[in-house]
Chain A
Amino acid sequence: MPSWIGQAIKRGILTSRFPRGPGSEDELPETSRPPVLSPTSDPLPTLTRATGDCPTGAIDPDGLHHGKCVRCARCTRKGFVFAGPAHPCADSREGLYAPGGGPLPEHRNASPLAPLGRSLQLFLVDAGSCLACNLEVLALANPYYDSSRLGITFVNSPHHADVLVVVGIPTDPLLGPLRRAYEALPGPKAVLAVGACALEGGIFRGNPGTRAPLSDTVPVDLFVPGCPPTPLDILQGVLTLAGRANRLPEVHP
């Protein structure tokens, strides 16, 4: 007789081994890795040629701004490859700038919520997203990632939350609610900006009625780039806020 328990047992354990081990190939599709100059291309001419191609202006002749990258893959025609170190994040917008188009410098920064211990409560706020980033953040609760095994849970009210997770490019009507949400979190608190739209405006930078970047409206503690970032990228960001980020072994391509 079919039963829920029988079904669950038959499925077995699906949960990722991250962060005890690196993410598997299934968890990290091609575009989840940030773009870097391929080893065979010449930096300066490549950067200069690719500058006009990038729709968000992430590439300039001096380097690549990961916060602006929307992973559209157009630069792969001009000498870039999606082979950067997985799970990038930084605690400032400048920290996401990779000079020379190489890999992003290592991120070693203080974790504002480390004193809270190992468990964090997240409150998700949609500032104007396309829903992809929302669903990637909420995917942390599904059995494949199961963030609650790490003490990361979602709460329904900002008064109970430690981290305000913001996705989407801030639109005019939502600026007030964003500030109120930030005010409503009790200290100590942190803001996690997830996705290219929240970081720099993504592909909608400059659209009428939008107010990118998010850090103009609320102070942001950690930026996670991607369009959208995979659930493991977001998990890495949350663990960094909690002071639990470790250096991870590289995923072999």
Chain B
Amino acid sequence: MSGTGGLPPRPEGAHGRSLSYLPADRSFALLTDYDTRRTVRATFGELSEQHLRAARNWQPSASAPWTLDMGEEVEGYGTFRFPYGPFSMGVPEAGTFELVTYGERLLEVLPGFGQKPRGILASLPGLRVEEAALRVERMVGPYSTAHVAAFLFAAEAAAGTSLSAEEAQVRALGQELQRVYNHLHVLARLAEAASQNVGQAQTHALAEEVLRLAGRHFGHRWLFGSLLPGGPRRRLDRVQRTELDRSLAQLGSRFEALWELFQGSRTFVDRLQGTGRVGRSQAISWGAVGPVLRACGVPWDDRLRDPLPPYHDLFLPLAHQSEGDALARTVVRVEEVRSSLLLLEQLLDRWPNGGTFDPLLPVSPRRGLARTEAPSGDLVWDVLLTEDGRVRQAAFRSASQANWPLFALACRQSVFTDFHFTLESFGLSFAETDG
């Protein structure tokens, strides 16, 4: 379906640094940021020099974890650094933030990664694809389907194995279910930050229902193992699909009623409006992806631009806004919930009756690359196999990794109380960042 047709050469950025998310001494992989920029450029015309000049890059080294270079640090009379994390209940994961402030105002937010590197990529070489997939899906629990789908598509591209239509359907089904859960979860956390207690409780309840549906029909609430051969028992025959369809329709109408109430809550909308605003050119030049990018007026969704089977056959209304603030990101997520429910309805209605899909084209012999739209955004997996079908090397670039610079930018010149709204509306995950 899609592929990149050959290993692209290492491009140079405007500052003479190579645009790479992997250590320079690895002779492996690339793509990701460059690829995004290349495809964006192909779609929207040449990016101006100004955009390229403003771009910063990641330079992970072998010893230090990911670092973020935002340029000169902001300073001034009376400013001080306020540490937040790694164990703070406001952020559900272990990651640190340095807030540079003179009190009340946030002059700069510096995320600190590398608190929980679990060495997953280092543990993959030598495993069979199935065993590696078990680890890949536990990279980030809520995005497990996206990671394992991208990984499996990449591995199948590398091995040249074809995929049954039903498996492809199940992969899409799982991804869309988790997308609904994740967006509901983000909305619930935003409601919590805005002290909308009833709204928060009701939205968490809706998210819990999605997990229960997943548990009922896939055997595991987070679909661990469900997209792999020989996983937990699935309940997806005709009767059960109808049941799932009906439950999702009910969930959809409840969600619509809930969103009505949220829109009518002046407090809620006020807290989100104007918070963490980023501009369109900033989003493009800093390499943002996912709902964040779509909220800035760039209509980019992997399921439309780079569709993996079976998305190419499905109707997907694209969700995008132009304001670039937290409210826009929330509206994009709400619209994506609606379009995911629509996709789920289509997936459940048109269940395939046999058939296979050809694998993606490999990038080079035994090397496959696949990208999918995870709930947080564009996710790329790059897999290199040995002759006997085991993993030799694998790498990924997640949406969270791509969006951190824009998040740090969005937090500038805001106030303490806006921090959580910006953080939750970006929907970033440290687990995806550290790996």
Whether A and B touch (Cβ < 8 Å) is answered with: yes
Q: Residues on A close to B: CB < 8 A?
A: 2-5, 7-8, 11, 14, 25-27, 29-32, 55, 70-74, 76-77, 82, 123-136, 138-139, 141-144, 154-156, 158, 168-169, 171, 173-174, 177, 181, 202-204, 206-210, 227-228, 230
B120–A204 contact, CB under 8 A?
A: yes
Q: Does B408 contact A (CB under 8 A)?
A: no
19 intermolecular pairs with C-beta atoms under 8 Å apart: A4-B199, A5-B198, A27-B212, A29-B216, A30-B233, A31-B220, A31-B225, A31-B232, A70-B138, A125-B94, A131-B142, A131-B429, A142-B201, A142-B207, A142-B208, A144-B208, A154-B89, A173-B115, A173-B117
Which listed residue, A5, A169, A174, touches B86 by the CB 8 Å rule?
A: A174
Q: Residues on B close to A: CB < 8 A?
A: 86-90, 92-94, 114-120, 122-123, 131, 134-135, 138-142, 144, 185, 198-199, 201-202, 204-205, 207-208, 211-212, 214-216, 219-222, 224-225, 228, 230-233, 254, 257-258, 260-261, 264, 429, 431
Please give, as numbers and ranges, the residues of chain B lying within 8 Å of A133 by CB-CB distance.
141
Known: A7-B257, A77-B230, A171-B115. A208 touches B139 (CB 8 A): no
Known: A142-B208, A177-B86. A29 touches B93 (CB 8 A): no
B257–A203 contact, CB under 8 A?
A: no
A171–B116 contact, CB under 8 A?
A: yes
Alpha-carbon distance between A75 and B234 when the two chains are bound, in angstroms:
16
A127–B142 contact, CB under 8 A?
A: no
Please give, as numbers and ranges, the residues of chain A lying within 8 Å of B88 by CB-CB distance.
156
Please give, as numbers and ranges, the residues of chain A lying within 8 Å of B139 by CB-CB distance.
130
Across the two chains, which residue of chain B brings its CB closest to A10? B257
Please give, as numbers and ranges, the residues of chain A lying within 8 Å of B122 by CB-CB distance.
207-208
**Would you give the shortest CB distance from A197 to chain B, in whole angstroms?**
8
A7–B93 contact, CB under 8 A?
A: no
Across the two chains, which residue of chain A brings its CB closest to B199? A4
Which listed residue, B141, B207, B258, touches A228 by the CB 8 Å rule?
A: B141
Please give, as numbers and ranges, the residues of chain A lying within 8 Å of B231 by CB-CB distance.
72-73
B116–A134 contact, CB under 8 A?
A: no
Alpha-carbon distance between A132 and B147 when the two chains are bound, in angstroms:
14
B117–A209 contact, CB under 8 A?
A: yes
A8–B202 contact, CB under 8 A?
A: yes
